């Protein structure tokens, strides 16, 4: 089928290729003319036959403006799909705004990173059944070949919600491996730490795609000597903890993983300075000065 695709960066560009390889007609728009198929959103709308479907794959901070731009050029009966990293709570207001113009809305959480073009993307979809039905050929082309990788998770917002939780879990999984890595490197007994991780890739309870990637990283740099521990976070982890707090759900593991990223970005910890100050005050403990 025909699809408009707005945002042709690392993710969007790969998705266009995967969709075209599956026989779909993709007309892309990007601010960068070097990768864009059209000169403007208006031209994009013109080239698509109604009823149109336009998939957004833009950084979250540009999503709302892009939706506003599309409202100018789309028609009743069209559908907008947001595949970017929007916060789930933005989806319903956005859907209602589009609905006032007769335009449908679907939110899609997309997982898979740079590997998705080859392996397919994990897709978590929120929206009305009828809208989801119309897009199924596109979802089928983007998802992996097997029986998994796609879910219609619920009404508008549910797709990004499921993706948010997916990323929260991802934080926890990564940190569990990371802690195991640190303990193994601290041990006097285990002399072949990369070999241990490699061995775990089959036959063990902890085998996973993330473990495969960690083994790959250790193949390239067995002591991770070239990397800094300084680690960014990209929003979904924080939203997951916010939701935990709002709903009264205890997420000790995921929150600890998020907080460890915060710590990784500190040169020194104000909290630990306060602990040092207290130890010096009550115990006369020698503490380290700056």
What is the Cα Rg of the chain in Å? Answer: 23
Question: Shortest distance, CB of residue 267 to a second copy, whole angstroms?
Answer: 9
Q: Which is nearer to a second copy, 78 or 236 (CB)?
A: 236
Catalytically annotated residue among 163, 188, 243, 273: 163
Question: Shortest distance, CB of residue 75 to a second copy, whole angstroms?
Answer: 29
Q: Which is nearer to a second copy, 13 or 51 (CB)?
A: 13
* Beta bridge pairs of residue 123: 110, 150
Residues 6+ apart with CB under 8 A from 179: none
How far is the CA of 61 from the CAs of 39, 109, 231, in angstroms?
A: 21, 16, 21
Report yes or no: 4 and 81 within 8 Å, Cβ to Cβ.
Answer: no
Question: Shortest distance, CB of residue 92 to a second copy, whole angstroms?
Answer: 9
Catalytically annotated residue among 43, 170, 198, 243: 170
Kindly report the backbone phi and psi dihedral angles of residue 105, in degrees, each rounded to the nearest multiple of 5, phi listed first: -145, 135
Other beta carbons within 10 Å of 147? 7
The DSSP code sequence of 241-287 is HHHHHHHT---HHHHHHHHHHHHHT-SS-HHHHHHHHHHHHHH----
Residue 170 appears among annotated catalytic residues: yes
Using CA of residue 262, residue 168, residue 131, residue 49, what is the dihedral sign?
positive
Question: Shortest distance, CB of residue 115 to a second copy, whole angstroms?
Answer: 7
Question: Shortest distance, CB of residue 44 to a second copy, whole angstroms?
Answer: 27
Residues 6+ apart with CB under 8 A from 116: 11, 14, 15, 18, 110, 122, 142
Tallying the residues shown for the chain, one arrives at 290
Q: Which is nearer to a second copy, 35 or 176 (CB)?
A: 176
Q: Which is nearer to a second copy, 16 or 175 (CB)?
A: 175
DSSP 49: P
Residue 188 appears among annotated catalytic residues: no
Q: Which is nearer to a second copy, 7 or 69 (CB)?
A: 7
Question: Shortest distance, CB of residue 5 to a second copy, whole angstroms?
Answer: 19
Q: Which is nearer to a second copy, 40 or 185 (CB)?
A: 185
Report yes or no: 123 and 142 within 8 Å, Cβ to Cβ.
Answer: yes
Q: Active-site residues: which are they?
A: 163, 170
């Amino acid at each position: 089928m025909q699809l408009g695709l707005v945002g042709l960066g690392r993710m969007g560009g790969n998705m266009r290729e995967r969709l075209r390889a599956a026989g779909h007609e993709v007309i892309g728009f990007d601010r960068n003319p070097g990768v864009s198929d059209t000169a403007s959103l208006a031209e994009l709308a013109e080239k698509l036959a109604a009823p149109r479907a336009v998939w957004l794959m833009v950084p979250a901070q540009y999503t709302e403006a892009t939706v506003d731009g599309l409202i100018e050029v789309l028609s009743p009966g069209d559908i907008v799909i947001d595949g970017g990293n929007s916060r789930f709570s933005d989806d319903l207001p956005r859907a209602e705004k589009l609905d006032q113009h007769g335009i449908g809305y679907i939110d899609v959480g997309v997982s898979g990173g740079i590997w998705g073009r080859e392996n397919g993307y994990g897709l978590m979809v929120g929206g009305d059944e009828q809208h989801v039905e119309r897009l199924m050929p596109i979802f089928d082309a983007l998802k992996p070949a097997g029986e998994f990788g796609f879910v219609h998770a619920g009404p508008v917002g549910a797709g990004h919600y499921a993706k948010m939780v997916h990323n929260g879990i991802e934080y926890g999984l990564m940190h569990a491996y990371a802690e195991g890595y640190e303990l193994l490197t601290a041990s006097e007994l285990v002399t072949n730490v990369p070999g241990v991780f490699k061995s775990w890739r089959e036959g063990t309870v902890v085998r996973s795609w993330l473990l495969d990637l960690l083994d790959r990283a250790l193949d390239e740099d067995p002591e991770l000597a070239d990397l800094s521990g300084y680690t960014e976070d990209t929003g979904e982890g924080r939203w997951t903890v916010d939701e935990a707090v709002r709903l009264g759900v205890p997420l000790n593991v995921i929150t600890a993983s998020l907080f460890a990223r915060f710590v990784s970005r500190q040169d020194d910890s104000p909290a630990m300075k306060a602990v040092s100050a207290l130890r010096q005050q009550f115990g006369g403990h020698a503490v380290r000065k700056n």
